[in-house]
Amino acid sequence: MRYGEQEYSTQNAAALLAEKVRLVRADMQELGAPAPEVYTSPARHYRQRAEFRFWHAGDDAFFAMFDPANPREPVRIDAFPPASLRINELMQRLRAAVLRVPALKRKLFQVEFLSTLSNDALVVLVYHRPLDSAWEEAARELAATLDAQLIGRSRGQRIVLGEAHVTERLQVDGRELVLRQPEGCFTQPNAEVNRAMLSWARAAAGPERDGLLELYCGIGNFTVALADRFDSVLATEVNKVAIAAAEHNLAANGIGNTFIARLSSEEASAALARERPFRRLRDFDLDAFRPGTVLVDPPRAGLDPRTRAQVAGFERILYISCNPQTLQRDLLALAATHCIERFALFDQFPYTHHLECGVCLSRR
């Protein structure tokens, strides 16, 4: 299946975005939000990540997705316009190689792609069988053919051929940001919109040279972009692989004013309130830390009550949200102490109902 030019067109993307913006603006009116700054996405080849089932049909095999209305019937995918050009090229070359080599094809169940604007790529092949030496030999040849990092997975096995990450290089406000993105960690799927989000966050951070507390920092996507706007940064995360990537990214970008701690948002609240000491903060001078700004980029569930109460104590709040409904709930709770200065909408996922939001709040 090749998706039609009309479906993935600038006109369709613009029309769908306009409707999404209208709905979110209506929901945000009661909060006194200003007119949103709207950031569009490219209409095609905007996704740096993609995942497909690999469907076997006799001697043939192909990439497939499934329609929720008919979940048992595979939809053949020969080209996928939302995915980057690099992913589309890899799809063609990988399928041709797999069809030629039985050791690669047998019980291949799923294929995952991760690419970057800097043309780095990683491919993950997931199997319903043990991976043996014949597979590894064929996979090494495939990785060289594709000029990509390659990982094989099956139950209890993970074989990494090359590196288990890609490296993104983003141009943001005249600077190049270098970001290691490991397999299995969350990364922003729409790199061009991510660039817009980072630039917006830097501008919304304001001129104050205070401290920044960042919750849910992940691999340091916002951390790396914002660190030079503050005197000191304390960033928290719980995923060990993401923390290792974030620490690498700080070093790769020459950032020395940031400390990353393996703390949940609840633990960060307890630490800042001096409720109990944390050994994971023993190398950070918490008493000298003067945070005036907090950045939160929570999961779709939004902020838990304790974290919401904690962020209400900051002069400035930068809130990045992937769920306008939980964002609205949290902003209603914060309205007693803060007002909305800036409001942005990022079309991270064109042709869907999803919108990424950015809100900058300041104390009343």
Burial 52-83 (b: 16+ CB within 10 A, else e): bbbbbeeeeebbbeeeeeeeeebeebeebbbb
Q: Which of 322, 339, 357, 360 is catalytic?
A: 322
Distances in Å between the alpha carbon of 345 and those of 14, 86, 363? 13, 27, 22
Supply 170's token pair: 């983003």
Cα torsion through 145, 110, 299, 33, rounded to 10: 70
The SS3 assignment for 105 reads helix
Cα torsion through 309, 312, 317, 321, rounded to 10: 30
Supply 16's token pair: 């769908």
Give phi and psi for 15, each to the nearest 5: -65, -45
State the amino acid at position 258 in one-letter form. Answer: T
Told to judge if 322 belongs to the known catalytic residues of this protein, a careful annotator would answer: yes
Q: Which residues pair with 291 in a beta bridge?
A: 211
Supply 106's token pair: 């047998």
Supply 313's token pair: 């104590």
301 alpha carbon, distance to own chain's centre: 16
Residue 47 Rama label (left phi>0; alpha psi -120 to 50; beta): beta
Instruction: List, as one string, the DSSP characters of 299-310.
Output: -TT---HHHHHH
Q: Which of 168, 183, 214, 356 is catalytic?
A: 356
Fill in the DSSP letter of residue 106: T
Supply 328's token pair: 């609205």
Of 78, 82, 76, whose CA–CA distance to 8 is shortest? 82
Catalytic (active-site) positions: 322, 356
